[in-house]
Chain A
Amino acid sequence: MHSVECRNTFFLLFLLRNAKLLLSLQVIDHYENPRNVGSLPKSDPNVGTGVVGAPACGDVMKLQILVNEETGEIQEVKFKTFGCGSAIASSSFATEKIKGMKVWDAKGVKNTDIAKELSLPPVKLHCSMLAEDAIKSAVKDWETKRAARLGGKAAPLPGQPKDEVHV
């Protein structure tokens, strides 16, 4: 088993050197075993969906969050990504990072956090920016849905900072 893993690592290094990139082991791990792949029901009032990127650019990321109505906690996160290995790894990492966070805290996740954690090379920094956008877009979708449902009566959730309340 050990030798098989060594061999796999060798293959990857061989391939990646050819691609003039040296991806970190975290990227390879998230790419090979992506966390939270899948979809949540789009029509669920507590699900926020963000789709960012474009096929023309070679990256499309879909990130969905299921938010607890009472506490504002992100209970479930799912993603699907069309893109390179770094894009898949960035989205997988982002889902892990925001799961369990308060929805207003998730908005504060910066692309630099993702890039740093995954040690993305400069040419792949746009992947982490896309992941940040996907989180923001999903949260915004959830907020819009909630505001539409509750009208002007959208009360702040327990623990939500005052300036974050959208009326």
Chain B
Amino acid sequence: MNRLSAVLRRLPCTSPLRHFATGAAKASVANTRPIYLDMQATSPTDPRVLDAMLPLMTWEHGNPHSRTHQYGWEAEKSVEVAREQIAKLIGAADPKEIIFTSGATEANNTAIKGVARFYKSTKKHIITTQTEHKCVLDSCRVLQDEGFDVTYLPVKQNGLIDLEQLEAAIRPDTALVSIMTVNNEIGVIQPIAEIGALCRSKKVFFHTDAAQALGKIPLNVNDMNIDLMSLSGHKVYGPRGIGALYVRRRPRVRLEPLITGGGQERGLRSGTVPAGLCVGFGEACRVAQEELEYDSKRIKMLSNRLIEGITSKVTHVIRNGDPVASYPGCVNLSFAYVEGESLLMALKDIALSSGSACTSASLEPSYVLRAIGADDETAHSSIRFGIGRFTTVEEIDFVVQRVVERVGRLREMSPLWEMVQDGIDLKTIQWTQH
């Protein structure tokens, strides 16, 4: 931190980075800006990560692929250390199995399109689930246009897949199964080890999008029989703009690259590797490994405090997704009879995200909530609370108090709440569809 502080002291006093140097970060930031509870969208960069990155963003500016001078060698060494740190966190045997990408979206695209296209002469089928991230679903749609067959597995009401259904869906020409580890909207954890074992026994490649799981739950690509894994830097308190794809070497997974050129990253992802971002991602993984146990306990405690605080004072609150097989830092609650977007507006001093996609022109609620069979009213009423490493007890208590107060106020304004209080069953009403 000393080196960082030295740099920060030279910054103009208006620089936001000064907060780190003065130690005033908490007090002044918390007083002027909303409480950040949107960790699934992105997480704040850990100061330790920034500290590790600064040298590479300034004087160690070499291109890691330059073989002819010290600048290049230094940068390459730093990138390789980062690769090892990432490999260690996911239990990969060989750091060479880590391919740096621009983020999890690129990693997902590379994995799904790459494997399918490489094996297209013999395999024509992909299996995924209905609750995947948009970039997985969209990659599959592109492959459908190219003539591949895609099975979108449904999920149970708790958001988890049915292993028997998966087994039944696997065909002799199935190239890849892609199922995410932790869902970004409802936080459920799929039975990855079981899926991995099943895929291995059927000799099908298994890809998992672990962007929301990395550093949050223990992961081991060998124990879990994972062949490809997508990772993201900024969901694990690292920098935005960097991600990685784990590609197994034994048994070897082959894929066609999306980006071709200089042949960097084993020819799977050409383009100069951003050394500073890689080092930040590596450091974030090192810190995550160190803090995993402590963070897990703390986030679990905060999560329970939030859920109990809200449900003890507000009725008709539904938690979306399995309450046990889920990451506690992602709490998706539906406040029945209150519309999600208006609640977000009412909670303007908290940075949150609605599970509902009402902010876009379409009036469709979230496809993930649809897939778990949520009612229309429930799907339109959901809010996602993302708790992270830097969330405090005071912040959670403030959020609970605000939510209780604002949901109450909006329910007083809600005709649906009034009908329910009068004992009217909303399902019996003939609504005028607009």
Q: What is the size, in residues, of chain A's interface with B at 8 Å between Cβ atoms?
A: 39
Asked if A39 CB lies within 8 Å of chain B CBs, one says: yes
**B415 partner, pick from A15, A57, A81, beta carbons under 8 A:** A81
B432 and A80 contacting across the interface, CB-CB below 8 Å: no
A82 and B339 contacting across the interface, CB-CB below 8 Å: yes
Question: Residues of A contacting B13 with CB < 8 Å?
Answer: none
Majority secondary structure, B binding face: loop
Whether A15 contacts B434 in the complex (CB less than 8 A), given A34-B413, A81-B414, A82-B337, comes out as no
Cα(A82)–Cα(B34), bound, Å: 25
B359 and A57 contacting across the interface, CB-CB below 8 Å: no
Stretch at the interface among A48-56, A98-106, A144-152: A48-56
Cα(A95)–Cα(B276), bound, Å: 58
Whether A56 contacts B376 in the complex (CB less than 8 A), given A20-B359, A34-B413, A123-B360, comes out as yes
B415 and A61 contacting across the interface, CB-CB below 8 Å: yes
Within B124-175, the residues touching A (CB, 8 Å) are none
Stretch at the interface among A67-75, A83-91, A156-164: A83-91
| A35 smallest CB distance to B (angstroms) | 12
Asked if A37 CB lies within 8 Å of chain B CBs, one says: yes
B415 and A58 contacting across the interface, CB-CB below 8 Å: no
Asked if B181 CB lies within 8 Å of chain A CBs, one says: no
Whether A80 contacts B413 in the complex (CB less than 8 A), given A53-B434, A56-B433, A123-B360, comes out as yes
B434 and A85 contacting across the interface, CB-CB below 8 Å: no
Question: Residues of B contacting A21 with CB < 8 Å?
Answer: 359
Asked if B342 CB lies within 8 Å of chain A CBs, one says: yes
Q: What is the size, in residues, of chain B's interface with A at 8 Å between Cβ atoms?
A: 35
| B386 smallest CB distance to A (angstroms) | 14
Q: Mark A106-131, 1 if CB is under 8 A from B, else 0.
A: 00000000000000001100100110
B32 and A7 contacting across the interface, CB-CB below 8 Å: yes
B345 and A62 contacting across the interface, CB-CB below 8 Å: no
Asked if A40 CB lies within 8 Å of chain B CBs, one says: no
Question: Residues of B contacting A8 with CB < 8 Å?
Answer: 348
Question: Residues of A contacting B348 with CB < 8 Å?
Answer: 8, 11-12, 15
- Further pairs besides A15-B348, A19-B341: 11, Cβ < 8 Å: A31-B342, A31-B345, A37-B412, A57-B434, A60-B415, A60-B431, A81-B415, A84-B358, A88-B413, A123-B360, A129-B434
Nearest 5 CB-CB pairs, A to B? A54-B431, A62-B415, A56-B376, A84-B341, A80-B415
